[in-house]
Amino acid sequence: MPMEVVDGRLRAVIEGISPQVEEGRFAVKRIEGDRLEVEADIFVDGHDRLRAVVCYRPTGSATWQETPMAALFNDRWRGEFTLATVGRWEFTILAWVDAWRSWHHDLGRREGREDIALALRVGAAQVRSAALRAQGADAAWLAAAATELEREEGAIEERRRLALSDDLHAAMERWPDRSLATFAEHIYPVVVDRALARFGAWYEFFPRSTGEAGLHGTLDDAAQHLEYVAAMGFDVVYLPPIHPIGHTYRKGRNNSLEATPEDPGSPWAIGAEEGGHRAIHPQLGGIEAFRRFRRRAEELGLEVALDIAFQASPDHPYVKSHPEWFRHRPDGSIQYAENPPKKYQDIYPFHFESDAWRPLWQELLELFRFWIGEGVRVFRVDNPHTKPFPFWEWCIQRIKADHPETLFLAEAFSRPRVMQRLAKGGFTQSYTYFTWRNTKYELTEYLNELNHPPLRDYFRPNFWPNTPDILPEFLQYGGRPAFMARAALAATLVPSYGIYGPAYELIEHEPREAGGEEYLHSEKYELRHWPLDRPDSLRDYLARLNRIRRQNPALQQEWNLRFVPIDSEQLIAYTRTQGDNLILVVVNLDPYHTQSGWLSLPLGNLGLDPHHPYQVHDLLTEGRFLWHGERNFVQLDPERSPAHIFQLKRRIRSEREFDYFM
């Protein structure tokens, strides 16, 4: 059907808007206080002059605010505004052919008294009509200017001077004729999160492993463990599910099918007679113990994240109260999770194609709300890619409408499109393939993908070198240097990272079976008692990494990563910069051998003077070096320290300081 045109006089064209995800179908993500730089291609037929503004507001606000856009080059325009509050925002663009600017531009170039006189009459009409639009003092002032411009007698140059005066131009710019303005074709949403969505160090541990040796730990034991976590400088402490654990088909140690009466079961087999997703495992203590735990965490500057796993053990109260939320087999039994011939009889997935999908969605939403009511604002969502994408989009939007400070980390180790869609659908952060990216080529490719549009506008990576489910091969064989290198990479490649401890700092590296990634004696199926004071523990190293992160704004930013050429495939080097804070990281990717190479630092980009020496200060080892020029030598012995985290100083401040470092 040929298009219908409402008003053919709307001539300005607005397209190629950034940032946006799929023409506004999904929101871009930013942080409270960020300046949003909006760009677009804006143009019109012919030679007329344009003006454009970005219109923006917190979603739901009745009125738009505006900020002017300026032309860059090749019809590209830019305007920016501050995302002042956490929550959902939206913007669009308004552009119009600006008769005043066209006229003003031409008038200065006109020649001949007759031509100028006629032009002044055209301009006078514009000023008169602006006077009618104007309010306050401008109204009378513009009316007077119009009268002056349209005077027939007198010196024409004087009138031209008035027409071209800054005062008149400013007043005319204040009262443009926007009757034929064009809006961009869509409204573009922005989700604005609090700072923790961008920058944070996460620490996962099993509270039940914090008891006295041999005993099931409580949340009060876990609260005592928090000081240890806080001392390492983490920001988020994240707990696997803390709910009652099913006993039907409970898994034993190392995921064996037969559990002994002593086996505590997997925390992900959620629900038993004592309750489901709102209840707390009796041996962890009741809700009061959880509240004490959360308060203690807050005292220590730690935020508590909970693991939300939408699945039920056969003993979950839902199984009786809401059988319609599960798939039933012809023999009346409930369909357990399976991947034939494998059976996971201890887990019932929810049946999202149930006719009762709406109450099911609502209940799952209420589970988040329950824990929000308990003060939790960070959720790590278990396997979100096995629940419908539309559910997450709906659920996260609902939650954030009331509690925009809530963060959701998607635990989806899946195919690229699946992980990306979850992020588009609203997850604040995402687990990533970092866990398996070990070589320089792999890391460079992956980080470049993450740091560029379209991905960077909606997919916030959180780098985990290990999880309770994943002990990667590199950590199984690389020893302590591998654990140090991977932590340094995770902590400095992106602003958010996390580890599963104390397995990490205690260099737990035995797999359940060769070729697999499961931990031997995994805490998922048994209690562990960790010797936290073991001398080879990486706790001090992690504390130093986190301190470096907190003290260097460059490591708290997104998208400022730049790889630096270094002539060894075993060494990776990159800068992160923010204002005067210049960080250069070099990591030896080979955990077995000392590696060395020559760096080529882009001095110009870093604002370093090629003709003067500059100081590099290794924040890990406190070593200081005086470098000169672009090419510099680096050598890293993995047994001593597989990484340099250099702070670069732009200028040696005095001769004295210069001498000091020589």
Subset of residues 485 to 514 that bind a second copy, contact rule: CB under 8 A = none
**Does residue 111 belong to the site contacting a second copy (CB under 8 A)?**
yes
Is the CB of 112 or the CB of 515 nearer to a second copy?
112
Q: Which segment (17-25, 276-284, 295-303, 429-437) binds a second copy by CB under 8 A? A: 17-25
Cα 462 from chain centroid? 8
Which DSSP symbol is given to 152?
S
**Does residue 46 belong to the site contacting a second copy (CB under 8 A)?**
yes
Exactly one of 62, 63, 109, 152 binds a second copy (CB under 8 A); that residue is 109
Give how many residues touch a second copy by CB under 8 A. Answer: 69
Is the CB of 211 or the CB of 349 nearer to a second copy?
349
Tell me whether residue 411 is one of the annotated catalytic residues: yes
CB atoms within 10 A of CB 448: 12
Tell me whether residue 442 is one of the annotated catalytic residues: no
Task: Report the SS3 class of residue 578.
Answer: strand
Q: Which segment (117-125, 237-245, 304-312, 432-440) binds a second copy by CB under 8 A? A: 117-125
Contact pattern for a second copy over residues 320 through 359, marking x by CB under 8 A: ---------xxx------xxxx-------x--xxx--xx-
**Does residue 70 belong to the site contacting a second copy (CB under 8 A)?**
no
Q: Output helix, strand, coil percentages for the chain, rounded to the nearest 5.
A: 35, 25, 40
> How far apart are CB 373 and a second copy at their closest, in Å?
19
Using a 10 angstrom Cβ sphere, with 0-12 exposed, 13-18 middle and 19 or more buried, the burial of residue 432 is buried
Which DSSP symbol is given to 253?
G
Contacts 24+ apart (CB under 8 A), 128-131: 129/177, 130/100, 130/171, 130/172, 130/175, 130/176, 130/177
> How far apart are CB 448 and a second copy at their closest, in Å?
18
The number of helices, as runs of H, and strands, as runs of E, in the chain is: 16, 29
Scan for tokens 């914090």, then name that residue. 210
- Cα–Cα distance measured from residue 548 to residue 68, given in angstroms and rounded to the nearest whole number: 39
- Cα–Cα distance measured from residue 222 to residue 226, given in angstroms and rounded to the nearest whole number: 7
> How far apart are CB 215 and a second copy at their closest, in Å?
38
Burial 485-512 (b: 16+ CB within 10 A, else e): bbbbbbbbbbbbbbbbbbbbbbbbbebe
> How far apart are CB 13 and a second copy at their closest, in Å?
5
Exactly one of 74, 135, 260, 654 binds a second copy (CB under 8 A); that residue is 74
**Does residue 152 belong to the site contacting a second copy (CB under 8 A)?**
no
Subset of residues 389 to 408 that bind a second copy, contact rule: CB under 8 A = 389-391, 393-394, 397-398, 401
Exactly one of 37, 157, 158, 185 binds a second copy (CB under 8 A); that residue is 185
Catalytic-role residue among 32, 263, 382, 517: 382
Closest C-alpha among 405, 358, 356, 413 to residue 384? 413
Is the CB of 134 or the CB of 422 nearer to a second copy?
422
**Does residue 532 belong to the site contacting a second copy (CB under 8 A)?**
no
Q: Which segment (21-29, 156-164, 287-295, 647-655) binds a second copy by CB under 8 A? A: 21-29
Exactly one of 49, 64, 65, 106 binds a second copy (CB under 8 A); that residue is 106
- Write the CA distances from 429 to 82, 461, 592, 637, 640, integer angstroms: 22, 6, 33, 34, 33
Q: Which segment (274-282, 382-390, 435-443, 638-646) binds a second copy by CB under 8 A? A: 382-390
Subset of residues 22 to 41 that bind a second copy, contact rule: CB under 8 A = 22-23, 25, 41
For residue 617, the number of C-alpha atoms closer than 13 Å in the C-beta half-sphere is 14
Q: Are 131 and 142 in contact (CB under 8 A)?
A: yes
Give the E-state strand segments of 458-578 in sequence order: 496-500, 561-563, 571-578
Catalytic-role residue among 346, 411, 508, 590: 411
Give the E-state strand segments of 404-530 in sequence order: 407-411, 429-430, 496-500
Cα 613 from chain centroid? 37
The H or E element spanning position 82 is strand 76-82
**Does residue 421 belong to the site contacting a second copy (CB under 8 A)?**
yes
Exactly one of 58, 64, 65, 75 binds a second copy (CB under 8 A); that residue is 75
Contact pattern for a second copy over residues 120 through 149, marking x by CB under 8 A: -xx--x------------------------
Exactly one of 282, 323, 375, 388 binds a second copy (CB under 8 A); that residue is 388
Exactly one of 35, 151, 161, 415 binds a second copy (CB under 8 A); that residue is 415
- Cα–Cα distance measured from residue 160 to residue 416, given in angstroms and rounded to the nearest whole number: 63
**Does residue 180 belong to the site contacting a second copy (CB under 8 A)?**
yes
**Does residue 453 belong to the site contacting a second copy (CB under 8 A)?**
no
- Which residues are the active-site residues? 382, 411
- Residues lying near a second copy in the complex (CB under 8 A) are found at 1-3, 5, 8-11, 13, 15-16, 22-23, 25, 41, 43-47, 59-60, 74-75, 97, 106-107, 109-112, 115, 118, 121-122, 125, 180, 185, 329-331, 338-341, 349, 352-354, 357-358, 361, 385-391, 393-394, 397-398, 401, 415-418, 421
